[in-house]
Amino acid sequence: MANEHKINLNKRDSLGKKGVKQLRKDGMIPGIYYSPNSESSTPIVISQGDFHEAIKSGARIFNISVGDKKQNVLFKSVQYHPVTEEVLHIDLFGVRMDRAVAVKVSVNFMGDAIGVKEDGGVLNTATTEIEIQCLPGDIPEFVEVDISELHLGDAINVGSIPLDEKFTLMTPEDTVLASVTHAMKEVEVVVEEEGEEFMDEEGEAPADGEGEGGGKPEEGGDASKEKDAGSE
């Protein structure tokens, strides 16, 4: 049975960017409450302290009062600042306790894979949560998956998770949860050095035409003398 926690919140009158910015400066979090049938929505505001207390409670269902009406809700989404991780906005979704809802739950991997312990492999986790459908009161805190029998080259899929009959799996069964693969090997790059015969005394390659037997005859040298001798 899912734990429940009461949240103190109020309707929000500040709807513009300026008003929302001031709320955040005052330590408040703006948000939206959506009714169970999604036909109506209400702007709300909650303090940073009450929000973090609700998260620490470990509950999945929260009790709120919207106007004069009490309602059970789930956190539909939480928006964080990309740098400071400050909570910027929350969405609460109203639920009926007798109607199933789709929620995401964490996956806890249990045991040490034999392919890691004995074969020197590496455990790769592809996903750490799955989506299920169940009654709000049955929402689990997490699901457990035993990976101790995973050998090198093995993988475990979402469809292998043993779920109670009260849960309906929404994530595709062939979705990979974890696998054991070979460890990456570092490859040393070998740089081939040029042979000494291609380097001069200064460690530089000779210019074109330089080197033994590669020089051009000087102007007026033996070639020109032979020409002159033939003309005499």
What is the reported pLDDT for 172? 96
Average pLDDT over residues 138-158: 94
Task: In whole angstroms, give the CA distance from residue 11 to residue 7.
Answer: 13
What is the reported pLDDT for 154? 95
Task: In whole angstroms, give the CA distance from residue 31 to residue 9.
Answer: 10
**Residue 177 above 70 pLDDT?**
yes
3-state SS, residue 174: coil
| pLDDT confidence bin for 195, thresholds 50/70/90 | low
Average pLDDT over residues 174-187: 85
Task: Quick: pLDDT tens for 71-96.
Answer: 899 998 899 999 988 899 999 999 99
What is the reported pLDDT for 10? 84
Q: Which CATH number fits domain 4-96: 3.30.70.1170, 2.40.240.10, 1.10.10.10, 3.40.50.300?
A: 2.40.240.10
Lowest model confidence (mean pLDDT) among 36-40, 119-123, 129-133, 162-166: 36-40
Q: Between 192 and 95, where is the model more confident?
A: 95
Task: In whole angstroms, give the CA distance from residue 228 to residue 209.
Answer: 27
| pLDDT confidence bin for 224, thresholds 50/70/90 | very low
Q: Are 108 and 162 in contact (CB under 8 A)?
A: no
**Residue 197 above 60 pLDDT?**
no
Mean pLDDT of the chain: 82
127-152 per-residue burial string, b: 16 or more CB within 10 A, e: under 16: eeebebebbbebbbeebebebeebeb
Task: In whole angstroms, give the CA distance from residue 101 to residue 74.
Answer: 10
CATH 2.170.120.20 fits 102-181, yes or no: yes
What is the reported pLDDT for 37? 78
Outline where DSSP puts E strands in the chain: 4-6, 10-11, 28-34, 41-47, 61-66, 69-80, 87-95, 101-110, 122-125, 129-134, 142-146, 155-157, 168-169, 176-181
Q: Which residue has the tokens 């739950």?
A: 105
For residue 154, give both structure tokens.
């093995």
In the chain, domain spans: 4-96, 102-181
